[in-house]
Amino acid sequence: MLKLSKILGSASLLTLASLSAAQAGGFQRSTADTDILYEPGMVSMRTGMTYVSPERGFDSINGVSGSWNNYTGSYNLPTASLKFGDGPVACAGSYAESFAAEADYSSLPGGAQPISTTGSRVQSLEFNSNEWSATCRLSYEADVGRFSLLAGLFVEDFNFQGTSLGAAPTGRTGPGGAPVLVPVALSVDTSNSYETGYRVGFAYEKPEIALRAQVLYRSEIKHDRPEGTGYAVTTGDAFIINPATGGTVILPPSPLLPVGTQVSSGTAFQNTVISPQSLYVNFQTGIAEGTLLVGSFRWTDWSTNRNVLTSYVSAIGTSVNNSPYYWDDGYTATIGIGKAFNENISGLVTLGYDSGVSTGAETTYTDLYSLSGGLSFKQGFGEIRFGGLVGYWTSGSQSVANGAIFDATVGNDWVFAGNASIKLTF
The span from the CA of 186 to the CA of 266, in Å, is 11
**Sequence-separated (6 or more) residues with CB below 8 Å from residue 380:** none
- Contacts for 246 with CB less than 8 Å, ≥ 6 apart: none
CA distance 394 to 154: 34
Number of compact structural domains in the chain: 1
Q: What is the CATH number of the domain that holds 187?
A: 2.40.160.60
Measured CA to CA, the distance from residue 95 to residue 137 in angstroms comes to 18
**Structure confidence at residue 5 (pLDDT):** 45
Q: How far, in Å, are 44, 112, 156, 229 from residue 222 at the CA level?
A: 32, 29, 10, 21
Q: What residues in the chain have per-residue pLDDT under 70?
A: 1-24
pLDDT number for residue 18: 53
CA dist 305 and 55 (Å) reads: 23
Q: For residue 59, is it left (φ>0), alpha (ψ between -120 and 50) or beta? A: alpha
Q: Which domain holds residue 37?
A: 2-425
The tens digit of pLDDT for each residue in 49-72 reads 999 999 999 999 999 999 899 999
pLDDT of 250 reads 86
| The predicted structure's pLDDT at residue 69 | 92
Predicted local confidence at residue 399, as pLDDT: 96
Distance of alpha carbon 236 from alpha carbon 258, whole angstroms? 8
Greatest alpha-carbon pair distance for the chain in Å reads: 91
Q: Return the pLDDT at 175.
A: 79
